[in-house]
Structure 1
């Protein structure tokens, strides 16, 4: 653990024990997560957000879904947006609803286009907000909709 921390801090030379961890995304992500957790618990939420943000795509890259979810929850706990790479978790219908809502259509307009009820649109939007870690439609503007556009 000491070698990992020293490697992540850049305090050791590339040939020293522990330096090889710098080439492993999972270990880099774990270090960022641990540091972010420590910062959040020591009442430094802005620095914690900066530390936690890069860990999410690293965990996603290696398929460490539980670790990515932990990092997302830590990020939300310190006031950050965990929208990151979770767009692929949306169903096709949720994606369509999200894209149309981001374009400014009302629930009734979306319902008319997709041949579903406006209440179903609202249900899908609530699921989209939860999956993307955003509180409302306004947060959809910050999501990379190119990735979402069906």
Structure 2
């Protein structure tokens, strides 16, 4: 049998783990929140979880509606579902425009050199979706 040679992907992979997508917190999300979650996952390179942002002007170019309420509501929905956490509150005024920064909760929050967050970096993910999903599944079976 001939061996199949696989080429290494040269691109960046952006995804949400299946265990997160099977969790009730994800299933309850609206479409805008799900889309925004994937946009945040796209920004996550494995060393910058905690410095992800949802900037309106950038998201319009990615297909989000022109109304900022869509993004604001989607962010609120993701925060309420604890699928993301705010790592640094932005600042507006006095000539400064700094966005809020976020981290996805299925990956550890990274210690990012030169970037001060309002919360501490973590060695483990803030949420353990596989354990939570097992508990939810066991509760339904009982």
TM-score bracket relative to the smaller structure: 0.3 to 0.5
Q: TM-score of the superposition, structure 2-length normalised?
A: 0.34
Give the TM-score of the pair, scaled to structure 1: 0.33
The higher-RCO structure (CA 8 Å, 6+ apart) is 2
Q: Which has the higher helix share?
A: 1
More strand by share: 2
